[in-house]
């Protein structure tokens, strides 16, 4: 093969079936025909990269153009996806070449200041400057133990099972409002709602078709939605032992959230809850009389990479005033490597390069982890990932970077 940087190129529509099959082969999955047979509407082939060895696709990657909620703002985000290298071509620098090409193009073209991805293996992406910025809750437990506290307000609204067409219109409107309040949430246009609601029989993992709920107030206002499936099971004694598989619960009021969860925990023939994509900070735990009934096994979700430190830090908001010099170490993206003066607060701020002495020293991976406000810079200091130069700087920075809403990304890509 020739030089990797020159050999990488976007896939064409004609090459898509081979490209997508190579992608799923690397993940040892068959892949849905709706994705592999033709280019799906949400794919952006001009932002793909592939590597061919003769007529064989041996590496793939792509970027989706998304909008990401960050503390106090929404920013363009390069959602990195489809990243694979064939087993026959590993340890040749191909993945590094893909990562460098993506990040360099984003920087040189002044596109998205932030990149994000879901990692198939958690040991891979730290070396490219990505840090774990959000977690998924992996909530579960036995539903018979999940009785609500007697003081839970269920409101005067009602929960109804609705056809997908009715659900989609109401859920899309509500989602566009609530996603702006939660760091880590991504905007969904029509293409992404098509993808979110796709329900192919061979992708259900033994569960039912997706079922859709709306919570409506007496005046007809929709204040919540939920999507779920049921996976049936029976014990040896012929007792029902099914699982309610909750895919998403969103609401604009506490009573709507409580009412939706009350419905989901009361589904017939169900004894178990599985909500792998839920926020680790979902209010459900605080609705229960027995908080120990809800189990949580958080797993890393969205990994964030600051493509351009100055633009990214200036784009978000800070709940407390901050005036610090950060020395950022970024060997993979040298344009970030150096000292950055951050002056910001609740209404916004400025971040630019400086020659001033640093208050903190940290690598870009740690900065990405803290960017959405869910990982404390003080915790990272305790792990040896942040060095305090000016006394009190960690406390100052940790206070300013945190956010009251836990980051959460319910959309895998």
Paired residues of 70 in beta bridges: 73
76 has which bridge partners? 67
Residue 302 · residue 407 · CB < 8 Å: yes
Residues whose CB is less than 8 angstroms from the CB of residue 111 and which lie 6 or more positions away in sequence, other chains included:
76, 78, 105, 307
Is 413 a known active-site residue? yes
CA distance 288 to 142: 12
- The dihedral region occupied by 220, where left means phi > 0, alpha psi between -120 and 50, and beta the remainder, is left
| Phi-psi domain of 82 (left: phi exceeds 0; alpha: psi -120 through 50; beta: other) | left
**Distance in angstroms (rounded) separating the CA atoms of residues 89 and 50:** 13
DSSP state of 99: H
User: Which is it for strands 360-363 and 322-329: parallel, antiparallel or unpaired?
Assistant: parallel
Alpha helices in 231-323 (DSSP H): 254-264, 284-287, 309-315
Element (H, E) at 40: none
- Which residue of the set 64, 125, 263, 318 is catalytic? 125
Tokens of 131: 């840090």
Distance CA 288, CA 261 (A): 10
Q: 395 is written with which tokens? A: 């406390």
- Which backbone phi and psi does 246 adopt, to 5 degrees? -90, 125
The secondary structure of residue 84, as a DSSP letter, is E
Contact 84, 117 (CB under 8 A): no
- What secondary structure letter does DSSP report for 404? S
Active site residue 371: no
Query: How many helices (DSSP H) and strands (DSSP E) are in the chain?
Result: 12, 20
Could you please report the per-residue DSSP string of 184-204?
A: T-B---HHHHHHHH---GGGS
**Which residues does the annotation mark as catalytic?**
125, 413
């Amino acid at each position: 093969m020739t030089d990797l940087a020159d050999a990488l190129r976007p896939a064409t529509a004609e090459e898509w079936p081979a490209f997508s099959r190579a992608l799923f082969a690397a993940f040892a999955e068959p892949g849905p025909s709706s994705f592999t047979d033709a280019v799906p509407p949400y794919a952006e082939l001009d932002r793909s990269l592939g590597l061919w060895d003769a007529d064989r696709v041996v590496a793939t990657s792509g970027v989706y153009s998304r909008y990401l909620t960050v503390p106090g703002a929404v920013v363009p985000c390069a959602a990195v996806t489809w990243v694979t290298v064939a087993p026959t071509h590993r340890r040749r620098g191909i993945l590094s070449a893909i990562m460098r090409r993506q990040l360099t193009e984003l920087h040189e073209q002044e596109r998205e200041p932030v990149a994000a991805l879901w990692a198939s293996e958690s040991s891979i992406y730290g070396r490219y400057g990505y840090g774990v910025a959000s977690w998924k809750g992996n909530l579960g437990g036995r539903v018979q133990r999940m009785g609500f506290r007697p003081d839970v307000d269920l409101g005067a609204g009602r929960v109804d099972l609705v056809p997908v067409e009715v659900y989609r219109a109401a859920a899309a409107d509500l989602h566009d409002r609530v996603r702006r309040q939660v760091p880590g949430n991504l905007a969904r246009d029509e293409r992404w709602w098509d993808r979110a609601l796709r329900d192919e029989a061979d992708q259900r993992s033994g569960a039912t078709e997706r079922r859709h709920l709306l919570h409506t107030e007496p005046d007809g206002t929709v204040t919540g939605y939920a999507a779920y499936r049921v996976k049936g099971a029976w014990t040896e004694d012929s007792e029902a032992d099914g699982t309610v598989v909750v895919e998403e619960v969103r609401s604009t009021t506490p009573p709507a959230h409580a009412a939706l969860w009350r419905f989901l925990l009361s589904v017939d023939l169900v004894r178990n809850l599985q909500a792998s994509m839920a926020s680790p900070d979902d209010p459900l735990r605080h609705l229960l009389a027995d908080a120990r009934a809800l189990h949580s096994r958080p797993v890393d979700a969205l990994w964030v990479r600051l493509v351009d430190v100055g633009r990214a830090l200036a784009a978000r908001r800070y709940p407390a005033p901050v005036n610090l010099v950060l020395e950022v170490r970024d060997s993979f993206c040298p344009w970030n490597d150096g000292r950055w003066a951050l002056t910001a607060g609740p209404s916004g701020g400025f971040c630019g390069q400086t020659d001033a002495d640093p208050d903190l020293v940290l690598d870009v991976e740690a900065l990405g982890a803290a960017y959405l406000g869910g990982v404390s810079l003080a915790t990272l200091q305790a792990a040896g990932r942040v060095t305090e130069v000016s006394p009190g700087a960690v406390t100052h920075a940790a206070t300013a970077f945190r956010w009251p809403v836990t980051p959460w990304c319910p959309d895998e890509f």
